[in-house]
Amino acid sequence: MTAPRIAPVQVPTYLKLSVAVALATIAMKTAAWWFTGSVSLLSDALESLVNLAGALFALAMVLLAAAPPDEEHPYGHHKAEYFSGGFEGLLILGAAVGIALAALQRLLDPQPVEALGLGLVLAIVSSALNGGLAWALLRAARQHRSMALEADGRHLLTDVWTSAGVVVALVAVHWTGWLWLDPLVALAMAANIGREGLKLVRAAADGLMDHALEPEVCAEIETVLEGFRHATIRFDHLHTRRAGSRRYVDLHMHMPADWTLRRAAALRGAVEQALMAAVPGLRASIQLLPADVEAHFDDPRDLK
């Protein structure tokens, strides 16, 4: 049985919007840095450049993931989204290193902050744009189970907190005259976004290694199977995995050996339909076996 496909029409649209917002925030944050000379605002602008590169790469990977199966990729291209998450994580780590180096240089040679009012206004407006987009991306990521949207949304959310830290630091510098606060906050920002980059890289690697479905989804699958279990019907060798927005479950269904193929296939179809109805986007694959036949996957000869 073929699982109903969730149309990914909105996913590229969200990422195109992310590209547009990234361009707008780059312009505003660069202007804010130019007017003020703040290294923390420069760090914020550099992170927006990373946002732009990440959004462009995520858009390319989402379009690739939506491509239909072909001869070389008979199971589709769904895992392409994990490359997006890993790539964006690496970009974030690179930005964190650049920010830290710039902050260390300014910490050794403090510089006054100028035109603070205009710089703060530009930083706050760009942060508001990123915050609204991050909320929309994370909501869409849950709906479409998109690693690319989640990575981009989490990155933008990190950018929002970074901008908030910049604003607080600049206000503190203005009122205290402590010029070292500006590069110190930039260093804290570098550590924070570096941590987020590591999380994205780890999540992408985890997805590429065929991670099992979430515990709550596995529990839903077990609930469905329990409704079909009988004295003569049993299930075993159940395995689940994720590939981008797709979810898969493979299992064996044992039934009486004297059943006709038509009757066995009808029951299998009913189980598959029930599983896919309970878990949206699930693709179920069930192998039929007689009740007195076992499948063995741990034979040492198979491991050679």
HEC letters along 116-169: HHHHHHHHHHHHHHHHHHHHHHHHHHHHHCCHHHHHHHHHHHHHHHHHHHHHHH
Q: Which of 169, 190, 191 is nearest to 180 (CA)?
A: 169
pLDDT at 269: 92
Sheet containing 234-243: give its strands across.
Answer: 234-243, 246-255, 282-290
**Are 254 and 271 contacting, i.e. CB atoms less than 8 angstroms apart?**
no
**Are 235 and 255 contacting, i.e. CB atoms less than 8 angstroms apart?**
no
In a domain, 17, yes or no: yes
Last residue within a domain, chosen from 152, 177, 208: 208
- The tally of CA atoms less than 13 A away on the side-chain side of residue 185 is 25
* CATH number for the domain harbouring residue 248: 3.30.70.1350
pLDDT at 228: 92
pLDDT at 7: 39
In a domain, 264, yes or no: yes
Query: How would DSSP label each residue in 253-288?
Result: EEE-TTS-HHHHHHHHHHHHHHHHHHSTTEEEEEEE
Range of the domain at 259: 215-303
Does residue 220 share a domain with residue 156?
no
In b/e form, how buried is each residue of 116-133, taking b as 16+ CB within 10 angstroms?
beebbebbbbbbebbbeb
What single-letter DSSP state applies at residue 115?
A: S
Burial class (CB in 10 A: 0-12, 13-18, 19+), 60: middle
DSSP-assigned beta bridge partners for residue 283: 248
Does residue 159 share a domain with residue 63?
yes
Does residue 268 share a domain with residue 238?
yes
In a domain, 183, yes or no: yes
**Are 98 and 79 contacting, i.e. CB atoms less than 8 angstroms apart?**
no
Does residue 253 share a domain with residue 114?
no
pLDDT at 267: 93
Q: Which of 284, 216, 245, 19 is nearest to 142 (CA)?
A: 245
**Mean pLDDT for each consecutive 10-residue tract of the chain (304 residues)?**
42 77 80 72 71 78 77 75 77 76 74 63 78 82 73 75 72 73 75 79 75 85 91 89 78 91 92 89 87 65 41
H or E segment at 41?
A: helix 39-65
Does residue 192 share a domain with residue 48?
yes
In a domain, 3, yes or no: no
Does residue 247 share a domain with residue 141?
no
Last residue within a domain, chosen from 185, 208, 231: 208
Q: Which of 2, 17, 16, 49 is nearest to 30 (CA)?
A: 49
Does residue 117 share a domain with residue 153?
yes
Three-state DSSP string of 207-225? HHCCCCCCHHHHHHHHHHH
In a domain, 1, yes or no: no
Last residue within a domain, chosen from 182, 208, 234: 208
Does residue 93 share a domain with residue 41?
yes
Does residue 234 share a domain with residue 195?
no
CA–CA gap between residue 218 and residue 195 (Å, rounded): 30
CA–CA gap between residue 94 and residue 87 (Å, rounded): 11
In a domain, 298, yes or no: yes
In a domain, 282, yes or no: yes
pLDDT at 253: 92
In a domain, 23, yes or no: yes
* CATH number for the domain harbouring residue 24: 1.20.1510.10
pLDDT at 223: 93
Does residue 221 share a domain with residue 198?
no
